[in-house]
Chains A and B, each alone.
Chain A
Amino acid sequence: MTTPAISPGASALIEGPAQRGPSASRRFAQAILRNRKATAGILILAVISFVAAFPGLFTNINPHAAIYDQQVGPSAQHLLGTTQVGEDVFSQLIWGTRLTLLITVVVSLAATVISILIGVTAAYVGGMADRSLSLLTDVFLVLPTLPLLIVLTAYLPSGSLTITAVMIATSWAFAARQLRAQGLSLRTRDFLEAAKVRGERSSYIIIVEILPNMISLLVASFLGLAVFVVGFAAGLQFLGLGNSTELTWGTMLYYSQQNGALEAGNAVWMLAPGAAVAVLGTGFALLNYAFDEIGNPALRPVRRRRVKPSA
């Protein structure tokens, strides 16, 4: 339930390059642009972000206006039909993008930050602190995540804030373990030794010396988390554990399911937000996959050449 199943990218990056400087990042950017999966992923995320930022450009219908014919299929006026109450589904999909994306990004970012705090600190400080932090990480790693999420969201006040908070709290552990491993491998590098000899403070060393060397791993962690968060946040809302007065793709799924959209012949109402969740997740997943290929050259696709590894 923790991220491993869907975050293969990160593991390969542990041994990844630790180059620094503009030339390295430019090379990295070029590699991304050359990778077709990455391009597709970036394109998807760019479009969704644009919709989230400017929903008004795509529809002029108020998503909460219950004034149209009820539960009708797609038409020229209502591209994705209407809800049971007579709201426009397309408009809800457009306006629901913002909160859906926001939850995903906030949770993934925050969980990545926590994993840095715990993973890198453990690796850098070592000793007793490392052992306790690692233990904490291991405990969180094996807790059954979805059952825990269900318990937490069922008892805490319903809403995006709750979902965001509990998902942050339950999803940082896998990335923290990877970051610790990477941190351990960096610890003995010369430039860190040098910084220590110069008498820099630990926080300075972690932020200025260590983190820049982990950028690719951090990005991979973020992407892996995002794939997981998209699906699980929507899953929780689909189960009715979100706040049904907030407009997200997950709550749209909840309402359509509760009103029997599939059997009432209005499947689009349910399939559209479901597909939107899937596309958003796919965007992050494509990017994650591409990162893995770029970060771990051994896995790069080999084209137009029948390869025998021994050859």
Chain B
Amino acid sequence: MRYVARRMGLFVLTLWAALTVNFLIPRLMPGDEATAVLSRMKGVNPAALHALQVEFGVNTDQNIVVTYLQYLGNCLTGQFGLTAARVPVMTDILDKLPWTLGLVGVTTVIAFAIGTMVGVVSAWRRGGRLDSILPPLLFIVSTLPVFFVALVLLYVFAVTLGWLPLASNYGLGSTPSLSLAFTWDVIVHAILPAATLIIVTAGSWIYTMRNNMVTTLAEDYVRMARAKGLPGWRIMIDYAARNAILPNLTGFAMQLGYVLGGSILVEYTFSYPGLGYLFYTGTTDHDLPLQSALFLVYTLAILICVLIADFASALLDPRTRDA
């Protein structure tokens, strides 16, 4: 119980820290959302500025502490107000969420599957040809900058070969529906962004999985299994891999943060209209309500995954509870 309480405490504290930083930074800097909108419209009367400031809730007369408490309250209750384009923030986010969730979710699962499999096999055949080439190669590839991988794929497959579309989430001629044609169109548009994310994340799965396997394979119970004459694949899967995968659960949560960040760059490069692109434009346009809400979404996504991973590994491996 103490463990659970402690982790929840961290959860709340981190959330508070993230929200506070996100509140303070834009407000300590000159220029508010209304000014940003007006700057783009140019030369507008100060009266209109004041009207827009009231409209955007940038009431300059209000005490900053009061504003801060209101902001925290609004974040907790999910009342984010309107974006600079005057759409409810939640509507905007929910519109874009499925695209990012699909992209990040699918790529994470694929990268995890590929990485784990290659990691297990290469550790099992340690020193073999696969082991001496794939893990180091993929590790190096995974350290390449996300946007560079995206640009190369874009250049090769979209610009030069013309095999795949170079932007957007579905084609101009398509209308959203559950039809096979539309689904196919969505998949075709997602291939390059997804491939980018898989390329930059699979390597570290392989790496950690391989190292975990190497350690596990040296354990006594694996030696015992061998002595009993069990078939190799059973030892590999049932004895070694099952245990080696455990530490990767925590990695999963950490990895999510990396993938979410990477998705911003990927969505930007491929003009993919998901949360990442929304966050990028919202921040550079100083659209505070949108930016605050999305920052909260990112923080919550990571925190919840960390919590789940913590509890999962605590359940599966009692030793970590005291760590």
A65 CB–B CB distance under 8 Å: no
Q: Is B214 engaged at the interface, CB distance under 8 Å to the other chain?
A: yes
**Does A285 contact B284, Cβ atoms closer than 8 Å?**
no
Given the complex, which residues of B lie within 8 Å of A45, measured CB to CB?
A: none
Once bound together, how far apart are the Cα atoms of A168 and B102, in whole Å? 32
Which chain B residues in 219-254 approach chain A with CB under 8 Å? 222-223, 226, 251, 254
Check B218 against A142 for contact (C-beta < 8 Å). no
Q: Is A139 a contact partner of B144 (Cβ separation < 8 A)?
A: no
Nearest chain A CB to B144 CB, angstrom units: 5
Interface contact A274-B279, CB-CB below 8 Å:
no
Is there contact, CB below 8 Å, between A150 and B264?
Answer: yes
Is A183's beta carbon under 8 Å from chain B? no
Q: Chain B residues near A286: list those with CB within 8 A.
A: 140
Chain A contact residues: helix, strand, loop or mixed: helix
Q: A4-B251, A274-B148, A302-B126 are in contact. Are A144 and B295 (CB under 8 A)?
A: yes
Decide yes or no whether A230 CB sits under 8 A from chain B: yes
Residue in chain B with minimal CB distance to A37: B136
Within 8 A of A (CB), among B236-282: 251, 254-255, 257-258, 260-262, 264-265, 268, 279-280
In the complex, what's the smallest C-beta–C-beta distance from A159 to chain B, in angstroms? Answer: 14
- Is B145 a contact partner of A230 (Cβ separation < 8 A)? yes
Residue of B146, B301, B303 most packed against chain A (CB within 10 A): B146
Residue on A nearest B292 in the bound complex, by CB: A151
Q: What is the 8 Å Cβ interface bit string for chain B, positions 146-180, against chain A (1 contact, 0 not)?
A: 11100110110001000000000000000000000
Q: How far is the CB of B302 from chain A (nearest CB, A)?
A: 6
The answer to whether the Cβ of A146 comes within 8 Å of any Cβ in the partner chain is yes
Residue of B nearest to A309 (CB): B217
- Cβ-neighbour of A6 out of B204, B286, B298 (below 8 A): B204
Q: Is the CB of A152 within 8 A of B25?
A: yes
From residue A64, how far is it (CB to closest CB) to chain B in Å?
24
For residue B65, which residues in chain A have a CB less than 8 angstroms away from its CB?
Answer: none
A residues less than 8 Å from B10 (CB atoms): 135, 138-139, 142
Interface residues on B, range: 35 or more
Separation in Å of the A176 CB from the closest CB of chain B? 15
The total of chain A residues at the interface (CB under 8 A) is: 63
Q: Is the CB of B78 closer than 8 A to any CB of chain A?
A: no
Q: Let me know if A309 and B218 touch, CB within 8 A.
A: yes
- For B255, list chain A residues within 8 Å (CB): 4-5
Complex: A148 Cα to B146 Cα, angstroms: 17
Q: Which residues from B are CB-within-8-Å of A282?
A: 140, 143-144
A277 touches B145 (CB 8 A): yes
Quick one: given A6-B204, A302-B127, A310-B222, are A144 and B299 in contact (CB under 8 Å)?
A: yes
Contact at A299–B214, with CB atoms within 8 Å?
yes
Q: Within the assembled complex, what's the spacing in Å between the Cα atoms of A143 and B257?
A: 8
**Cβ of B294 and Cβ of A147 under 8 Å apart?**
yes
User: B39 contacts which chain A residues (CB < 8 A)?
Assistant: none
B243 to chain A, nearest CB (A): 14
Interface string of A110-139 (1 = CB under 8 A from B): 000000000000000000000000010011
A8 touches B204 (CB 8 A): yes
Residues facing A in B162-219 (CB within 8 A) are 201, 204, 207-208, 211, 214-215, 217-218
CA distance A126 to B10 in the complex (A): 19
* A32 at the binding interface (Cβ < 8 Å): no
Given contact pairs A139-B14, A142-B257, A239-B280, A298 touches B29 in the complex (Cβ within 8 A): no
Q: Are A289 and B264 in contact (CB under 8 A)?
A: no
Q: Tell me whether B159 and A267 are in contact (CB under 8 A).
A: yes
Point out the residues of chain B lying under 8 angstroms from A278, CB to CB: 144-145, 148
For B223, list chain A residues within 8 Å (CB). 310
User: B302 to A231, Cβ gap below 8 A?
Assistant: no
What is the CB-to-nearest-CB distance from A215 to chain B, in angstroms, rounded to a whole number?
A: 22
Question: How far does the alpha carbon of A143 sit from the alpha carbon of B16 in the complex, in Å?
Answer: 11
Asked if A281 and B132 make an inter-chain contact with CB atoms under 8 angstroms apart, the answer reads no
5 A–B pairs (Cβ distance < 8 Å), ordered by A: A8-B211, A150-B283, A235-B145, A262-B159, A302-B126
A139-B17, A298-B215, A298-B218 known, 10 other contacts, Cβ within 8 Å:
A4-B254, A139-B14, A143-B299, A146-B262, A155-B29, A285-B140, A299-B211, A303-B127, A307-B126, A308-B226
Q: Which positions in B face A, CB cutoff 8 Å?
A: 10, 13-14, 17-18, 21-22, 25-26, 29, 126-128, 131-132, 136, 139-140, 142-148, 151-152, 154-155, 159, 201, 204, 207-208, 211, 214-215, 217-218, 222-223, 226, 251, 254-255, 257-258, 260-262, 264-265, 268, 279-280, 283-284, 286, 291, 294-295, 298-299, 301-303, 306
